[in-house]
A and B are shown apart, each in its own frame.
Chain A
Amino acid sequence: MGEHLIKMPDVGEGIAEAELVEWHVKVGDLVREDALLAAVMTDKATVEIPSPVDGEVLWLGADIGDVVAIGSPLIRLKTGDEEGAASGHDTSDKAPEAPSRPKDIEAQADGAVKTSEAVVEKQAREAPRPQPVEAPQSPPVRVHRPSGPRMEGDKPVASPAVRLRAHEAGIDLRQVPGTGPAGRITHEDLDAFLTHGPQVAKAQGLVQDTSVQHVKVIGLRRKIAEKMAVAKSRIPHITYVEEVDVTALEDLRTTLNATKRADRPKLTLLPFLMRAMVKAIADQPHLNAIYDDEAGVVHQHGGVHIGIATQTGSGLMVPIVRHAEARDIWDCATELTRLSEAAKAGLATREELSGSTITITSLGAMGGIVTTPVINYPEVAIIGVNKIMVRPVWDGSTFIPRKMMNLSSSFDHRIIDGWDAAVFVQRIKTLLETPAMIFVEA
């Protein structure tokens, strides 16, 4: 009998630690080779850790939500035979807890990590199956789901055994919510009532809910929280709001969509904005930058890598349209669709989720009138798109209905002066209001 130690694999360049977001196994489970053991998360990408061998789970090295350093022990497996020494070690005489021979374990673990890494890479390349970032499965907590109001005088539905137990415990079954068919009160309902008391028993009228749920902030939610806290605490934001008349742009967009080739994607407003940003950045390259505030260096990028803030089932993600300067409007649209779908399905790779140089945030029809976007640290600018609405606009002699849209944009005031911010947004406004300028070289 051998033992196989699996360590937290190195899931990407420069990553020192990863958060355990899900265990697929528990102690005592038998696992087959390639069976998934755990999911870990780094920088908004989730990586599944498969088992390199057949074996039985002896020990789990972390709780869900723990941040584990790369290379730390994660799982111990008991292997059934010499295959346990797949990485070339005679483990038959080794006691399960044998820290006196750390070298062996170390070497063995290296093998495991290698195997895991290989699988990780394979998965990243082929993106073979959805691996949504999921909140960890908390142990099933019985939900107190009252069966709807019981009519006055209705007898509670319960078996004689349940009725007897309730009566002996001094419980009026009319107060006990039944979760069974037809509101039937089960032994489990009675247990729950005995344990938790009648806090949700009243079915009618307004009742105080004094319950408090303790939700551990883990996984993607913690990443978002950390990132937002860093951005807001480090970056002095300046937010600039301007109104854009998108009537002409909308006409163009509608026409293009109506006349486009069948294989072309449907255009939303965002590809136009992306192309306008590329033009504006050509004049103001310091807005397309990463500010390393600790080193005191602004990395101005030639390539425009636009992050697109995307709402997914598990939270905010920012997939990146790389090299927007090298993509035409159709290409931008195609890439945008692909990425947002991948992010929503949890299929976005780590590479697709990191390395942006400027970000767009848009909530579409939910965009509101004004927002105060938080900069995607360590970038220096974020462009927020508000909703389009028809507003009356004074043309000098009369009010005419125009499709108007606000842009709410935030800038890192350490690097970007208000003037620069205004120039940038005005440039985008001009481009969007006269969309031909987006496509014509100056």
Chain B
Amino acid sequence: MSLTLENITRVVDGETHINTTNLSLEPGSFNVLLGRTLAGKTSLMRLMAGLDRPSSGRILMNGADVTGVPVQKRNISMVYQQFINYPNLTVWENIASPLKLAKVQPSEIKRRVDEVAQLLHIEQYLQRHPMELSGGQQQRTAMARALVKDASLILFDEPLVNLDYKLREELRQELRNLFKARNTIAVYATTEPNEALALGGTTSLLHEGNIIQTGPAAKVYRNPINVDAAELFSEPPINLVPGRITDSQVFISEAVHFPLVQELQGLPPGDYKFGIRPSHIGLVPHNDDDLEIAVTVELAEISGSETFMHVKNQHFPLVMQLSGVYEFHTDARVNVYLPAHRLFVFDMEGKLIKAPSPIIGGAFNG
């Protein structure tokens, strides 16, 4: 079963939610839609599901036009961000309801409900009502209901957002395993770059109603086609600073300049934007070619065992992601180091000119 969106648009009250979009999802693929809030992730999923009709364009399933087919007849499943279950039915009845409606044999219903309940570890709660369960269990129930019916398309609309961190990791891992053996198209929407990387599969970046890039997660991460894609697929967002390349020198906004390194040779002289991932900037140099920049600290934000440092010099601000807990006073003066060979180079329109080549042997920590 394949799903194809052909020139899909969605306009509501004169406001464009989805710009002309083409997307093709392969059978058995795991697809991640990565985009910020209001980027159009939910709108796109609702179009795929058939809950909304596209303003123009066609939706094809296995080559057959299903644009006007009501959602009841489409054999899909959807899991929402909120924990959506039928509160007046028990967990068992909740999971069984799609099968009952499809008039599956009672013995077969029992077998499949028990099977999927076991997969999601909710077999001991089957006789309870959803409201008597914890958030994680409620969402597992919703997922079980989505998985039980062998849908040809399963949509996950930020299903793990309302769960705590630990549970999220656990469920994400299980989810990925659940889909390894299935021939179902899975679509998973998220706002978190890390989640997209952790899930793998095909990632589509969604920005202001447009799909700006599609490809394997790691590849998209390493080669964002433009500034928007780079900012989107980085948490905290990638640092962008104006710069210039001359015949022999590279300038980062006049303040910092260094001899043209090997990676940047061959680029025509001119103005560029340089992108530096927050995790690449450090407080100590790692390489000989690291650039030293004197900055003042604006804010050191501790997030778990990581520290997000906001620093600036007179020309540009930078955000750094440091592992470990660091405390700095505001306005403290420090030197930070950024590796010249790990610069992303964008032209002035924001198109990617050059991405740093991945370090051989080192997986993508960026």
- Do A and B bind? no
Which A positions have Cβ atoms within 8 angstroms of B? none
